[in-house]
Amino acid sequence: MSDQDALTPRVFLVRHGNLKEINTGFKVYITGRRIGPSEAQVSSTAATLVGAGKLLDPSRLAHIFISPRRRARRTFELLLLSPSFGAADWKEKITYTEDIAEWDYGDYEGLKVGEIRKLRKERGLDQEMEWDIWRDGCEGGESMQRVSDRLDRLVSQIREIQRPHMNRGGAADVLLVAHGLILRCFLKRWLDFSVDFPLQMMLAPGAIAVLSYKNNNIEEPAFHLGITLPLLGERGKR
């Protein structure tokens, strides 16, 4: 971990583990409220990247925001609620919030993307352009604007948590545990891009992404293209 990493607060995005029961992923099924995570994926991430002196060091966390959905809650349990940390230690730092819940797919829940596009065209919609969730939202569910509004609230909360800690280090990191599509939306709003900005991203189930601030400046939100891990001899010192 570099000196700048130690002084600049970070935001960790953790996508819940993959779903066992159905073959998911936005390009296959639109799913917002289904099933639980594959525990092996998340446990492997936790063993490798979570712990004292590791990438996600629990002692450096100021707050944790979790989607209320069951698979996000279970993912958090596998990441941090081990006997060595203890659930009681985290109670005051945790917020379960709909602001980071998955996009509400409304009438499209459980449908394949191709099925949604076909249904819409049969109803006279999207004759010039294919349906795109980023731009068009979901009937009976959420629009792009509604998703943007709730994510902007969360971004503002995080900035207020981290603002006093710029250039000071300590327990100022924030953790988000949520879902693939909404976390990609969050990254766009973090960078002040619109939700439908064409930024191609991938976030594997059980993976961790890292956001922060360029030049230790809260007015310059950024994301890490790559990160360095703490040296073995430094682990546990911070």
Residue range 74-96, pLDDT digits in tens = 999 888 875 555 555 677 899 99
Instruction: Give the chain's domain count.
Output: 1
In a domain, residue 200? The reply is yes
In a domain, residue 29? The reply is no
pLDDT of residue 137: 93
Q: Which residues contact 15 (CB under 8 A, 6 or more apart)?
A: 178, 179, 180, 183, 203, 204, 205, 206, 207
In a domain, residue 169? The reply is yes
Which positions are annotated as active-site residues? 16, 102
pLDDT of residue 153: 98
Burial 145-172 (b: 16+ CB within 10 A, else e): eebbebbeebbebbbebbeebbeeeeeb
pLDDT of residue 88: 52
pLDDT of residue 92: 86
- Over residues 52-59, the mean pLDDT reads 88
Q: Which domain holds residue 56?
A: 3-21+38-103+143-234
In a domain, residue 27? The reply is no
Handedness of CA 180, 49, 162, 81 (dihedral sign): positive
In a domain, residue 56? The reply is yes
Percent of the chain with pLDDT over 70: 82
pLDDT above 60 (res 131): yes
pLDDT of residue 25: 36
Average pLDDT, the chain: 84
- Over residues 55-59, the mean pLDDT reads 89
In a domain, residue 116? The reply is no
In a domain, residue 166? The reply is yes
* Residue 231 or 75, more confident: 75
pLDDT of residue 196: 94
pLDDT of residue 182: 96
Q: pLDDT-based confidence at 31, cuts 50/70/90?
A: very low
Give the CATH number for residue 98: 3.40.50.1240
User: 155-190 pLDDT, tens per residue?
Assistant: 999 999 999 998 776 789 999 999 999 999 999 999
